[in-house]
């Protein structure tokens, strides 16, 4: 019975969706903010809009584990690393895997970001593989590009284009995605994010989130997505060398997914 429950859940979440892509982990901080981080310049931008890592000054290692809808058979793991090569050039690697033994998607990504004044550009080359059953394998190369711009000290803009290579499977169901967003710093303690997302085979989705710094080391976050509606929330703990984030997402009728992420900063010796 549980086997059929898992298959039905995967149909609702992935196969029943008009998009080809699974909803890979983007980091618990990003998830808690309603996945509205296209204009951000956080280390987790490696997984969302790599242009956002262009100003990083330290080596960062990302780890994230997500539990989906109370079924331990469904695994979701994300890892990544970004390294400053020069003052304004950052390179990164990422790996994502989500699914269970008989159906899963995997991504391996190579990323690069370059900063020039208030502007930053990023590019990603992704190898995407879908596994179904014992014999089915599909592999697709995907190219993404993006950028960020600091308009003022309080306002940042971002743009990200996914699958500009227009890689397609036999069903022609891998979407081209355009994401535009902004980050507005309401105060030193409060950040507001909002994104507009359009996929070539789906309607427009709105994403918004708020982050509130309640203590020197503690952050509270909330977010919402439309089409379909998802409610998000989370908390973060930050120190000089490590950041721990937790998020929870609720979607009707599927239920909740929980994510725990860690970011480690490795400072170069001077």
The residue extents of the domains of the chain are 2-266
Residue 229, CA atoms < 13 Å, CB-side half-sphere: 2
Q: In the CATH hierarchy, which fold is given to the domain comprising 2-266?
A: Porin (2.40.160)
Query: Residue 36, class by beta-carbon neighbours within 10 Å (0-12 exposed, 13-18 middle, 19+ buried)?
Result: buried
Give the model's pLDDT for residue 1.
Answer: 47
Dihedral of alpha carbons 150, 109, 133, 167, sign: positive
Give the model's pLDDT for residue 268.
Answer: 63
Q: With a threshold of 0.95, does the pTM exceed it?
A: no
173: left (phi over 0), alpha (psi -120 to 50) or beta: alpha
Whether the CB-CB separation of 92 and 108 falls below 8 Å is answered with: no
Give the model's pLDDT for residue 262.
Answer: 97
DSSP letter for 69, please: T
Whether the CB-CB separation of 49 and 126 falls below 8 Å is answered with: no
As a whole number of angstroms, the distance between CA 79 and CA 46 comes to 10
Whether the CB-CB separation of 264 and 65 falls below 8 Å is answered with: no
Instruction: Tell me if residue 146 falls in helix, strand or coil.
Output: strand
Low-confidence ranges of the chain (pLDDT < 50): 1-8, 10-20
DSSP string, 152-163: SSSEEEEEEEE-
41 CB-near residues (< 8 Å, 6+ apart): 52, 53, 54, 55, 120, 148, 156
As a whole number of angstroms, the distance between CA 113 and CA 45 comes to 11
**What percentage of the chain's residues is helix, strand, coil (to nearest 5)?**
10, 55, 30
Task: Dig out the tokens for 145 from the structure.
Answer: 């590009």
Instruction: Tell me if residue 12 falls in helix, strand or coil.
Output: helix
């Amino acid at each position: 019975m549980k086997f059929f429950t898992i298959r039905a859940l995967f149909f609702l979440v992935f196969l029943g969706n008009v998009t080809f892509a699974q909803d890979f982990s983007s980091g618990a901080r990003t998830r808690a903010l309603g996945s509205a981080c296209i204009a951000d310049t956080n280390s987790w931008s490696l997984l969302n809009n790599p242009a956002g890592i262009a100003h990083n000054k330290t080596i960062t290692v990302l780890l994230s584990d997500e539990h989906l809808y109370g079924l331990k058979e469904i695994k979701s793991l994300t890892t990544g690393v970004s390294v400053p090569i020069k003052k304004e050039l950052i390179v990164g690697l990422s790996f994502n895997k989500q699914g269970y033994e008989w159906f899963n998607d995997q991504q391996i990504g190579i990323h690069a970001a370059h900063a020039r004044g208030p502007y930053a550009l990023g590019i990603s080359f992704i190898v995407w593989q879908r596994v179904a059953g014992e014999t089915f394998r599909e592999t697709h190369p995907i190219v993404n590009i993006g950028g960020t711009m600091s308009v003022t000290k309080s306002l940042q803009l971002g743009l990200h284009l996914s699958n500009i290579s227009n890689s397609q499977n036999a069903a022609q169901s891998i979407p081209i995605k355009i994401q535009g967003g902004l980050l507005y710093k309401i105060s030193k303690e409060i950040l507001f994010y909002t994104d507009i997302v359009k996929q070539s085979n789906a309607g427009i989705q709105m994403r918004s989130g708020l982050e509130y710094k309640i203590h020197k080391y503690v952050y509270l976050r909330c977010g919402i997505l439309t089409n379909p509606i998802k409610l998000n929330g989370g908390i973060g703990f930050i120190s000089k060398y490590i950041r721990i984030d937790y998020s929870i997402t609720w979607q009707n009728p599927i239920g909740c997914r929980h994510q725990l992420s860690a970011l480690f900063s490795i400072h170069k010796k001077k």
